[in-house]
Structure formats: C-alpha cells, structure tokens
Amino acid sequence: MKWSLCIGAYPGKDEIYHLERIKEHGFDGLEYYAWWNLTDLKKTAKEQERIGVGISATCTKFISLVDESLRDAYLEGVRQTIEACRILNVKSVISQTGNVLDGIPRETQRQTMVETLKRCAPLFEEAGIVLEVEPLNGLVDHPGHFLQRSDESVGVIDQVDSPNVKLVFDVYHQQITEGNVIRGAAGYIERINHYHIADNPGRKQPGTGELNYVNILRAIRNTGFDGFVGLECGYTIDTDEAIEQFKRDILAPAMNG
C-alpha cells in the first residue's frame, strides 16, 4: 500500500512544500485537486523529479455527470485533464458526480452518468490513467450529491465495464452514509482504485473519532490492495506531529499485525 497527503495538509503552502514534506515522512504522493491552479505544469514536473515523489491524483476540470446538456463540457474538461496528467505523470483522476437534478427521474440521471463515463473510458484507457468516481455523503458535507452509497456506485462502475473507470472509496463519507465500512472497503476491492481516510465526526486525522482505523486498514491490506490511501483530513494538532502519531499508532499495527 502507498500513502498520500492532500493539498492543504500544510495550510498556505504550495505543492512543492507539500511534496518535500511527503518525502521526509516516507509517504508516496500528493493529491492536488485543482491542477489548473498550478502556474507552470512543466516546472512542477521537474520539481517532482528532483524531490522523488509526485502528484498521485488530481480532479476533473468540470463536474456534470448527471446533466446530459453538460456532457460535452465534461468531456472537454477530461481531455484537458488528461493532457495535464501526461505532463505531471499523474495516474488517477477523481470525479464527483454533481447534484441530483429536479424533475428528472433518478434512473435517467444514472444512465446519463453511465453513458458519459462510457464515452470517457476510451480516453483514459488510451492514456493509461484511471478515472475514479467518488460517492460523497449528503448528510453533513454534500447535500444533494447524486452518488452517495457504495452499492449504487459499484452498480454504475459495473455498467461502464472499463478497467480504467473505478471508484475512490472515502471511508469518512461512507461511514456517514451507510456505516459498515470494512465490508464495503474490502468487499468492493475489485472496483476501488484508491481510498480516502479521515475520522468521524469532524473529518480530522485518523484516531480522533469513532473509526477503528487499525482494523479498517488491516482489512484493506489483507485484500492484497497495493494502491494509494490518502489522508484527506484536517488536523487537530501540528500536521507533522499528527502524521508521526498516525504512523506510530495506526499504520504500524495495521500493516504489521
């Protein structure tokens, strides 16, 4: 398994600072969501080579999977994102789904999503990049978000039927939406490309809430998963101190137990 931090882990610091800290902690990547905010992609790429770790995931430029009228804009954003990923050597692209549209049957919106993802799939297959659809909780953070449950999300991925269209499984979101996270996190392993972790409530670093991350990460490890797990969380103490606590109290027993 590989470990990533997310941009904002060090508030006010740029991607280069984050990458240097990630390297010092022995982690493997940075999730930098809005690639279009980078002022010089080629310069960032050179800095990645110098430091020895790079951006592991970014986001699509537009979010509109359930609105057929915005499909062309979504696909154009995908093309732009793939080109940025080529420069930065990023292999994962995260997409949310957009909010439920009033007055349109849910099944119609779901099939619109499937069709848009099917049109994206050949672009990602050719580029050697995985598009990751992310279900989000609607109770606390994202009211109205279309995909919230892991089972419905897996159904969408199965309909698309591409090795380059998968899920990012966010343990925090799924704990709020449905609980039962070990069964989902391990049971859907074939459709999951990477994980996000944060504790609940509060969305702070693992160890600050109700989730038993030693057991959760051990269960993921036991599936043979070798992709990224990203700490997408805030921090209740100094970031470096929190990461050291995470490595000592959660990561070590989860990986060695």
186: closest CA among 215, 211, 155, 157? 215
pLDDT of 54 higher than 90: yes
**Residue range of the domain that includes 219:** 2-256
Q: Give the count of beta carbons closer than 10 Å to the beta carbon of residue 75.
A: 17
The single residue of 134, 152, 178, 210 carrying the catalytic annotation is: 134
Q: What percent of the chain has pLDDT over 70?
A: 100
Q: Residues 24, 232, 241, 244: which is the catalytic one?
A: 232
pLDDT above 90 (res 63): no
User: Is 201 within 8 Å of 235 (Cβ atoms)?
Assistant: no
Residue length, the chain?
257
Separation of alpha carbons 2 and 151, rounded Å: 25
pTM as predicted: 0.97
Confidence grade of residue 35 (pLDDT, cut at 50, 70, 90): very high
Nearest to 94 by CA among 216, 237, 223, 196: 196
Cα-Cα-Cα-Cα dihedral sign, residues 237, 53, 86, 164: negative
Q: Is 210 a catalytic residue?
A: no
User: How many structural domains is the chain composed of?
Assistant: 1
- Active-site residue 24, yes or no? no
Rounded to the nearest 10 degrees, what angle do helices 106-127 and 150-160 cross at?
Answer: 60
For residues 122-128, give the mean pLDDT: 98
Q: Is residue 179 left, alpha or beta, with left meaning phi > 0 and alpha meaning psi from -120 to 50?
A: left
Structure confidence at residue 6 (pLDDT): 98
CATH at residue 208: 3.20.20.150
**Confidence label for 239 from pLDDT (cuts 50, 70 and 90):** very high
Helices 41-51 and 15-25 pack at an angle, to 10 degrees, of 20
